[in-house]
């Protein structure tokens, strides 16, 4: 069972959390009620520990303009270890990959530094709806009195819309009969305010970490002579 616990922290594709959840479910079914109860208890304990670890104090509601005179600091004297910690602590790794770290639910950010500036990345983080890519646009599906579903659309065939929900839910896909859908609205799966529990230096370290593709030898992490 400890191996299944470790698997929840593995990095991989967007389907990995769902596969791990399915394995845990099959494991519990095959080994009977005692194993099922044990797994449920371990799952609850891990969720509680994760919540406690993720609690961060609010710093401020950051805007892009707050960084207008500071973005040049992304390119030198940054802290790689802190940038890596922020990538996970601020939930970036829950939907994105940098190198071998994270889940490829949204765009893989490993080579993002060659395509986008620090300002572009900051805008995407602080105001994710401003330049929403069609490729990664999500959908909010309303279903009358049933709970709405948010995720990335996978397919629409046979009278069913298939959606990939946030990988942290552990579900690979949700299938919704078209007849149940009352409305669909394009949305970004990425929530705003993710960096509002970080200091400016922590955010600059995060930007340097992403732009470098996680490379600790990048010049952004060199200290000035």
pLDDT in tens, 51-68: 444 578 999 999 999 999
User: Do 79 and 205 touch, CB atoms closer than 8 A?
Assistant: yes
Q: What is the pLDDT of residue 32?
A: 61
Whether residue 72 lies inside any domain: the answer is yes
| Percent of the chain whose pLDDT exceeds 90 | 49
Question: Which residue range is the domain that position 209 belongs to?
Answer: 64-131+191-221
On whether the CB atoms of residues 7 and 27 are closer than 8 A, the answer is: no
* Rounded Cα distance, 159 and 166, in Å: 23
Residues 6+ apart with CB under 8 A from 116: 124
Asked whether 167 and 16 are in contact (CB, 8 A), the reply is yes
Tokens of 111: 């080579």
Closest CA to 106 of 121, 88, 94, 117: 94
Tens of pLDDT, residue by residue over 142-201, are 998 889 999 889 899 999 999 988 777 767 789 999 999 999 998 887 878 999 999 999
Please check whether residues 124 and 13 belong to one and the same domain. no
Same domain, 82 and 104: yes
Clarify whether residues 14 and 72 are in a common domain.
no
pTM value is: 0.70
3-state secondary structure (DSSP) of residue 127: coil
Indicate if 88 and 121 belong to the same structural domain: yes
pLDDT at residue 138, rounded to an integer:
86
> Are 44 and 146 contained in the same domain?
no
| Whether residue 25 has pLDDT greater than 70 | no
Query: Would 59 be classed as within a structural domain?
Result: no
pLDDT for the residue 37: 62
- Number of structural domains (the chain) is 3
Q: Are residues 107 and 21 in the same domain?
A: no
Do 89 and 102 share a structural domain? yes
* Residue 77 sits in the same domain as residue 95: yes
């Amino acid at each position: 069972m400890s191996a299944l616990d470790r698997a929840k922290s593995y990095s991989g594709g967007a389907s990995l959390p769902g596969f791990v959840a399915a394995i845990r479910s099959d494991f519990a079914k095959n080994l009977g009620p005692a194993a099922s109860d044990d797994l449920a208890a371990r799952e609850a304990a891990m969720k509680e520990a994760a919540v406690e670890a993720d609690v961060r104090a609010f710093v401020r509601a950051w805007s892009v303009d707050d960084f207008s005179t500071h973005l040049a600091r992304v390119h030198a004297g940054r802290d790689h270890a802190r940038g890596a910690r922020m990538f996970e602590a601020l939930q970036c790794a829950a939907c994105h990959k940098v190198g071998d770290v994270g889940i490829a639910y949204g765009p893989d950010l490993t080579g993002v530094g060659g395509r986008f500036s620090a300002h572009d990345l900051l805008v995407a983080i602080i105001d994710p709806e401003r330049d929403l890519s069609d490729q990664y646009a999500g959908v909010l599906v309303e279903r009358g009195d049933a709970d709405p579903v948010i995720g990335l659309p996978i397919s629409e065939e046979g009278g069913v819309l298939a959606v990939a929900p946030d990988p942290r839910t552990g579900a690979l896909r949700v299938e919704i009969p078209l007849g149940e859908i009352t409305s669909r609205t394009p949305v970004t799966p990425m929530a705003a305010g993710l960096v509002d529990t970080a200091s400016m230096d922590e955010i600059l370290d995060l930007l340097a970490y992403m732009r470098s593709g996680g490379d600790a030898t990048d010049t952004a992490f060199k200290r000035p002579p």
